[in-house]
Amino acid sequence: MKMTKKLLLTVILACLVADPVSAACTFNLDTSSPTYPPHLVDSSNKIIQPTLQNGVRIITLAASQTVTVACEGTGNFLIATNVQFNSAKCATAGTNLQVGTQNLGYSSLGCKSVVKETIKETGTCSTTGTKIEIGWQVNTAYINQMTVCHVESNDNTLYAIDTIYGDNVAADDKANERPSFRKGNYFVGVDVETAYSQAGQLVAVSDIVGSSTLGAQYIDTSKSYYFARGHLAPDADFIDAGSQDATYYYINAAPQWQSFNNGNWKALEAGTRDLAISRSIDLVVYTGTFETLTLANVNGVQKPIYLAVDANNNNVIPAPKYYWKVVHDPATNKATAFIGINNPHLTTVSGADVFCNDVCSQVGWMTWSNRFDIPKGYMFCCTSASLHNVVAHSPNLGNIGLLHVHMSYAIMGKFNLKMESSDDATARSRHLEFLDGEWETRRDQRTGSSHDHVAFFNASRLSVFDPVGFDVVDDGAPFAIDRTDVVGGTRAQVRLVVQFVQSVDGIFRVGQLVFVESDDALVVQVQGLLDFMLRIFVVFQAPGFGGVLGAVRNLNVLRLGTIGGRSFVGSWLRIGENSNHSHQNNNLFETFSLLKLLFC
């Protein structure tokens, strides 16, 4: 296909020479971890977590980086020094840290016992709740891991807040054994362990509904109809064993039917982590409860369900009617609220049960095999604002957009470029000549357990200075035709795109269209675009590419971010202009100052 007009092609440039990387200290946690590993804390009081590299959990420190080797908890200390908090330095490249006068490998950095979290109350929340933080005391610094809002009068936790770190969560310690749940200083006068036992649940529910026979129909372990200790902030959101263990407090749990806990809710938790991993983003996750579950008694009257009574004969530990989760990306300030109905004994779900406009069809990154399966947990989705309108203790993030992915498929291709001389003998222009047709598609979501982002590229087809381009229709409906937003995956909207790009010659040349199922979204591979941008806001992002600085056939592929999101590191080449790489040209995106043009 010969192009008669000069086009501007946005590219990811594969560079022959990588930026030099300073010598560093690396620790293989899978082969050299001590029995009780410490936390390595950097100068900004952040716990350094591993990343997953070729299936191995690796912690990397920069050359000369100083860290604190912390063995948190009363009476705990680093065995090698008998000191609780130790300053250490990556003095020379390798696998040792300089701790005082000793050079210690990671396997020698063992604590006397497992690191121990600190729990502290930091104020009030909602109207009746106590704000409780669970975190880590390192010298005088306190590092928060999660926050819960707990109502002590009826032992009900309204919500928990935690952060999923996309660059690290895949490197979680999967070998860690689950500890028992703990009361801490809460649930005074309540035998919580008995309350959550299946025998205890049967007694409690039978008393409430007035019949042991009816109670046994409700608490039916053969169908997974019993209450699990439903984590609000799940242990799998955290990486190291100590942080995972810190989630095992009853203030971070509520009664959740096991069929729901191990069904659609489990899928949501995993899908949220997959999103963070695939896009290499940090997600703030709010997880909470709402209203109290009711079950019909022997007279058909709906009765609220509690697992226990306290010393004053007050009902405590209510079983929630709803579980909700708000997944917020602070970088783009978008969020989606997910709500699950915690009642496998419903025969139908009424319109009143779904208290917001269900927008799950607009959320491309999260799907269930059957989100309407009542025993597994009937799921629906809201904007965060519409959830807050109903659930006052859910986060008030304002009227922000949905965290939905209208780029569920990325289309990668190799462009062949023809070198031509211009009128200016000192300049050489690159013009798009043809597309070789070697396309590869890959879903953004469910990228696989290995999370091998480099495999996103068809490495065998790449060579030096082959530009691999991607442009997507942004999820914010960047432009409209006849007042119809160009988003979504319907064939009608695809035709609108085709009509648009054909009618406005030179603005877009569509290389290939992919028709996907209606529940997914359209992504168009765009060959080029002119300076005239109209009001189109194109997001340059490779879903699933993430934060990997990976090698492709010994070439380095540089990291790319999103406009208005995480910082940019990447290489861009302007086609049709002077191709001298030392010249930084911002004309293409002069309207969008957030974009940085960096060259190899």
Task: State yes or no: 103 annotated in a binding site.
Answer: no
Q: Position of tokens 């023809």?
A: 418
Joined together, the tokens standing for residue 30 give 């899978």
pLDDT of residue 474: 28
Question: Is pLDDT of 259 > 90?
Answer: yes
Question: Is pLDDT of 527 > 70?
Answer: no
Amino acid found at 426: T
Q: Which residues contact 335 (CB under 8 A, 6 or more apart)?
A: 326, 327, 328, 329, 383, 384, 395, 397, 400, 402, 403
Question: Is pLDDT of 21 > 70?
Answer: no
What end-to-end distance do the CA atoms of the chain give, in Å? 29
- The structure's pTM equals 0.69
The chain-wide mean pLDDT, for the chain, equals 71
Question: Is pLDDT of 584 > 50?
Answer: no
Question: Is pLDDT of 57 > 60?
Answer: yes
Joined together, the tokens standing for residue 46 give 């952040």
Amino acid found at 464: V
Compute φ and ψ for 380, nearest 5 degrees: -145, 165
Joined together, the tokens standing for residue 283 give 């997600």
- Residue 142, strand partner residues: 137
Q: What is the pLDDT of residues 144-174, one digit of tens each?
A: 999 999 999 999 999 999 999 999 999 999 9
pLDDT of residue 278: 82
pLDDT of residue 16: 24
Question: Is pLDDT of 360 > 80?
Answer: yes
**What does the pLDDT average to over 60-69?**
94
Q: How far apart are CA 266 and CA 228, in angstroms?
A: 12
231: annotated active-site residue: yes
pLDDT of residue 280: 86
Question: Is pLDDT of 555 > 60?
Answer: no
Structural domains in the chain, sorted by start: 24-108 (no CATH), 147-390 (3.40.570), 409-589 (no CATH)
pLDDT of residue 416: 29
pLDDT of residue 23: 58
Reported as a pLDDT band with limits 50, 70 and 90, residue 398 is very high
In angstroms and rounded to an integer, the radius of gyration of the C-alpha atoms of the chain is 27
Q: How far apart are CA 537 and CA 545, in angstroms?
A: 20
Say which of 39, 150, 231, 328 is annotated catalytic.
231
Amino acid found at 371: R
Question: Is pLDDT of 502 > 50?
Answer: no
pLDDT of residue 362: 82
Reported as a pLDDT band with limits 50, 70 and 90, residue 369 is confident
Question: Is pLDDT of 372 > 70?
Answer: yes
pLDDT of residue 24: 87
Question: Is pLDDT of 35 > 90?
Answer: yes
**What does the pLDDT average to over 135-144?**
97
Q: How far apart are CA 595 and CA 574, in angstroms?
A: 14
Burial of 123 per CB tally in 10 Å (0-12, 13-18, 19+): exposed
Reported as a pLDDT band with limits 50, 70 and 90, residue 50 is very high
Q: What is the DSSP letter of 237?
A: G
Reported as a pLDDT band with limits 50, 70 and 90, residue 455 is very low
Reported as a pLDDT band with limits 50, 70 and 90, residue 93 is confident
Question: Is pLDDT of 461 > 60?
Answer: no
pLDDT of residue 592: 22
Q: Are 323 and 287 in contact (CB under 8 A)?
A: yes
Q: What is the pLDDT of residues 507-519, one digit of tens each?
A: 222 232 222 222 2
pLDDT of residue 404: 72
Q: Position of tokens 């309204």?
A: 158
pLDDT of residue 488: 31
pLDDT of residue 2: 31
> Among 473, 563, 457, which residue's Cα sits nearest to residue 514?
473
**What does the pLDDT average to over 301-308?**
98
pLDDT of residue 365: 85
Q: By mean pLDDT, which of 185-189, 277-281, 302-306, 580-584 is the weakest?
A: 580-584
pLDDT of residue 367: 83
Amino acid found at 385: A
Q: By mean pLDDT, which of 399-403, 441-445, 472-476, 591-595 is the weakest?
A: 591-595
Reported as a pLDDT band with limits 50, 70 and 90, residue 496 is very low
3-state helix, strand, coil in the chain (%, to 5): 15, 30, 50
Q: Are 40 and 563 in contact (CB under 8 A)?
A: no
Q: How far apart are CA 563 and CA 23, in angstroms?
A: 31
